[in-house]
Structure 1
Amino acid sequence: MGFDKSAETRQLLVDTALRLFRTDGYQATTMRRIASEAGVSPGHAYYYFTGKDELVHELYLTIQHDHRERTLPCLVAGAPLATNLRVVLDCGLDVMEPYHAFGSAFVQNALPSTSTASPFSAESGDARAMAIALMGVVVERSAVRAPRNVLDQLPTVLWLVYLGVTLHWVTDSSRDHHRSRILATGVSSLVSRAVALSRVPGASGLITDATHLLTRLTPPPEERTP
């Protein structure tokens, strides 16, 4: 019973924080405000989370869960990679849409190399793994002809593409963020063509190099920021 109550309180704090992130923005949302809105004491809130940056990882996980649930029914088995990649990118933009208002402030917080909110940080590992796994499903369900080493690394590369589209979306001031949709369409076609070219001898090294660069940028668990 005690465990259920503890889990319920923790989830209440998460839900409250995400709601305030959407309505008030990241900078205006403080731990004291989260605690007050959730009806618990600040000390109680800090018992569950050391600060709002830690709640950002709950946001990452929530977005990844929603992204997966929205994407999977829309993927077309045997479709070209460009088609299914466009699906996963569009679904990602749909899921993130409620958080656009505070996107710029959030990116400023996540960009520093020491930030635990960075998508490359050790603390973001669970959400990153979920996102790459979803891209793995995209590859599996698509008609992709490429060398084995390219297919193995492709989900990680597609995740990098997703990050790039997300960064553009954060700064996109066009109506209904139309430019981000154009980018999603264009980059899906370009990536699909690049993967097709990987069958040309020597070209597969481009994807290998991109993945190795990502590996060097992502800190191992032992480098977790205190």
Structure 2
Amino acid sequence: MTEQGRGEQTRRQIVETAIRLFGELGYEKTTMRAIASAAGVSVGNTYYHFASKEALLREFYLQLVREHAAAAEAVLDAGGGFAEQLIGVLDAGLTVWGPYHEFAGRFIGLAAVPRSPVSPFGEESAESREISLDLFTRLVANTPTKMDDGLRSELPELLWLLQLGVVVYWVHDETPGQTRTRKIIAKGAPYLENIVGLSRLKLFRPVITQGLGILKLIR
């Protein structure tokens, strides 16, 4: 294995150990020294890769986003209707996040704190956010569903926000394998496709314009 490969392996080992300890001991009680010891890595080497626990969380989130994007490639390559692709993309995310369901609630709690360094809206999460937005940009670009041009330009960000909402619901879903969340996605995506399709009709344009105006205020 090359030195770069060993470095990546060490980084992943540190991150996976940290997430396990965060889940077992709690974020506040887990120290960098404890993470290093459990990962079998020196404290100095741990700080070499990650300057803080916040940096570890950002890396964890980035890894999941990258894995989600990779898993969704097959969905986008296969094509299909808007609802079909959206279901596939969101379902791929649930599959990637699945092993971390117990910890996800704690992560979201940390991310929800104002000015949190792991907030999905913060500067520190820019790379993760751009990867996700690119995923939904490709979905919208490839869909055969006709829609209002203004909505088309804003839809990737709306779908990203939708995904964040799905994750919050998924965290609270206690059904086996979080099947309720998957059922909601399966039933909700065709409904959303109908709304998107209606946006091109003149009758609905004022509503769409008003909605996009609200989105601009959220930014």
Question: TM-score by structure 2 length?
Answer: 0.86
8 A contact 1:118–1:124 mirrored in 2 = yes
Q: Contact 1:135 / 1:159 at 8 angstroms: preserved in 2?
A: yes
Separation in structure 1 between the aligned mates of residue 194 and residue 210 of structure 2, nearest angstrom: 13
SS class of match (2:73)? helix
SS in 1 for 2:207: coil
3-state DSSP of counterpart to 1:205: helix
CA deviation after TM superposition for structure 1 residue 38, in Å: 3.4
Q: Which amino acid aligns with 1:209?
A: G
**Residue pairs, 1:106-185, within 5 angstroms:** 106-185=107-186
Identify the residue that residue 45 of structure 2 maps to in structure 1.
44
Q: How many residues align?
A: 212
Partner of residue 220, structure 1: none
Q: Which residue of 2 aligns with 1:205?
A: 209
Q: C-alpha distance in 2, partners of 1:54/1:79? A: 38
Q: Which has the higher contact order (CA 8 A, sep 6+)?
A: 1
Query: Structure 1 residues 29, 179: CA separation in 2 closer, same or farther (over 3 Å shift)?
Result: farther
Contact kept in structure 2, 1:14 and 1:55, CA below 8 Å: no
Distance 2:61 2:51 in 1: 17
Q: Which moved more, 1:35-44 or 1:129-138?
A: 35-44
Q: Is the 8 A contact 2:32 2:53 kept in 1?
A: yes
Identity, in percent, stands at: 32
Conservation of the 8 A alpha-carbon contact between 1:53 and 1:117: yes
Q: Distance in 2 between matches of 1:17 and 1:142?
A: 36
Return 5+ residue gaps in structure 2 as ranges.
none
Q: How does 1:69-80 map to 2 (within 5 A)?
A: 69-75=70-76, 79-80=80-81
Aligned partner letter, 1:102: F
State the secondary structure of the residue aligned to 1:100: helix
1:58-97 deviations in whole A, cap 9, x for unaligned? Answer: 1122112111111111236552211111110100000000
Compute the displacement of 1:197 (Å): 2.0
1:224 maps to: none
Shift of 1:6: 7.2
Amino acid at match of 2:75: C
Unaligned stretches of 5+ residues in structure 1: 216-226
Aligned to 2:61: 60
TM-score (norm 1): 0.83
- Measure the CA separation in 1 of the matches of 2:145 and 2:78: 11
| Per-residue Cα deviation, 1:127-162 (whole angstroms, up to 9, x for no partner) | 000001001111122212112221111111110111
Distance 1:6 1:52, change over 3 A: farther
Aligned twin of 2:16 = 18
Partners of 2:176 and 2:169 lie apart in 1 by 14
Change (3 A) 1:99 1:85: same
Q: 2: distance between equivalents of 1:209 and 1:187?
A: 23
Shift of 1:44: 3.1
| Distance in 2 (alpha carbons) for counterparts of 1:7 and 1:124 | 24
Aligned pair 1:32/2:33, yes or no?
A: yes
Matched residues in 2 for 1:39 and 1:78: separation? 44
Shift of 1:9: 3.7
Which residue identity does 1:87 align to in structure 2? G
